[in-house]
Amino acid sequence: MDKRIISAALTGNWGKKSNNPAIPMTPEEIAASAVEAYEAGAAIVHIHMRNEQMLPTMDVELFRKTVRLIREKCDIIINITSSGDHTGEHIGSDDIRCAPFEILKPEMGSFDCGTMNWMHNSIFSNHPRFLEKLGAVMIESGVKPELEIFDAGMIGTTLYYMKKGLIKSPPHYQFVLGCPGGMDATVDNLVFLKNLLPEGATWSATGIGRGHIPIMMASLAMGGHIRVGLEDNIYYEPGVLATSNAQLVARAATLMRSVGMEPATPNEAREILSLPQR
C-alpha cells in the first residue's frame, strides 16, 4: 500500500474567528480539532497557541495543556511551531521560541531556515543565532525538525546546518508555497524545489490559497506527503469557508484513496520519518 502522511496545520498565527469561526483558538478547541483531524486521517498535527486576545503566543503552559488533551485521545504526532509569538520586535525572543521544545519535548517542531518579508507587512525573523540555538535545543530534546521551506535559498541553509551537525539526517522538509514574500504555489516551483533536496530526505508540501489543490495533487503524484488545515487555507473552495480542519483532512484522504494511496497512521508516519514508535 502506498502510504502518505497528512499533516494538519490547525490554527497558525494570523487567522481570526472573524475570518473563519472554525479556526480553533483555545487549548480545548485546538485539541478537539486535532482529534477530529486524526479521526479523518491526519498523522501529524502542527500546532500554534493563542492568548485570550487571540494573538499568537509561545506560552508553554498553553502548549502543555493542549498536548495533554490531545494525548488523552490519540497518538497523533505533535509538531509544535517555533514561530508563534507576538511579543518583541518580530516574533519573540530566541528563548521564548525554544522553550516548548526544551520543556515539553514534542516529537516534532517547525524549523524555518531563513528570514523573509512576510505578507508585505512584517518580517519573519530567523537570525542565524536563533537557528543555531534551535538546532541544538532540538537535538538535545529529541525533537525532529520539520524544515519549513518558503524559498529555494532556505534549502541551502538546511544543508549548511546538516554539515555543522545542527540538523540530523534524514531531514524532513515542508514546502509552504504561496505566501507573499516566498515562492508562489505552482507545480513548476514544487518540482524545482524537490530536485534540490538531499538524498534520503522526506518531504511534504502545502499551497496557500489558489495553489492548494494543485500543490496537493502534484505532491501526491511526485511521491510526497501533504499538509492541509486552517493555518494555510480558511476556504474549502472559492467563496466557501471550510467548516473544520477535519473537513480539509477528509478531502485529502478521499483524494488519496481514489488513486490507490492510503493515509499513513501516526505509527506508519513515524516509520517513514525515522521517528521512534509510540
Burial 208-236 (b: 16+ CB within 10 A, else e): beebbeebbebbbeeebbbbbbbbbbbbb
Q: Which residue has the cell 474567528?
A: 17
In the complex, minimum distance from the CB of residue 97 to Zn ion, in angstroms, rounded to a whole number: 12
Per-residue DSSP letter, 2:
E
Residue nearest to Zn ion (CB): 81
- Report the relative pairing of strands 6-9 and 225-228 from DSSP bridges: parallel
Closest CA to 21 of 238, 230, 252, 267: 230
Q: Which residues pair with 2 in a beta bridge?
A: 261
Of the residues 79, 81, 82, 219, which one makes contact with Zn ion according to CB under 5 A: 81
Q: How far is the CB of 14 from Zn ion (least distance, A)?
A: 10
Which residue, 248 or 258, has its beta carbon nearer to Zn ion?
248
Best CA proximity match to 177, nearest among 186, 169, 166: 186
Q: How many helices and strands in the chain, by DSSP H and E?
A: 9, 16
Site string for Zn ion, 102-121 (x = CB under 5 A): --------------------
Q: Which stretch binds Zn ion (CB under 5 A): 73-81, 124-132, 134-142, 156-164?
A: 73-81
* Nearer CB in complex with Zn ion: 189/206: 206
Which residue, 26 or 267, is less far from Zn ion as judged by CB?
26
Q: In this complex, which beta carbon is closest to Zn ion, that of residue 24 or of residue 271?
A: 24
- We find the least distance from the C-beta atom of residue 139 to Zn ion, in angstroms, to be 21
Q: Does residue 206 belong to the site contacting Zn ion (CB under 5 A)?
A: no
- Can you tell me whether residue 51 is helix, strand or coil? coil
Residue closer to Zn ion, measured from CB, 81 or 157: 81
The footprint of Zn ion on residues 216-245 (CB under 5 A) is none
Residue among 29 and 262 whose Cβ is closer to Zn ion: 29
Give 163's Cβ-side CA count (13 Å radius). 7
Collapsing DSSP to helix, strand or coil, 128 comes out as helix
Taking CB under 5 A as the binding criterion, the range among 62-70, 80-88, 181-189, 242-250 that sits at the site for Zn ion is: 80-88
Taking a C-beta distance cutoff of 8 angstroms, is the pair 259, 226 a contact?
Answer: no
- Minimum gap (Å) between residue 199 Cβ and Zn ion: 27
Tell me which residues touch Zn ion (CB under 5 A). 81
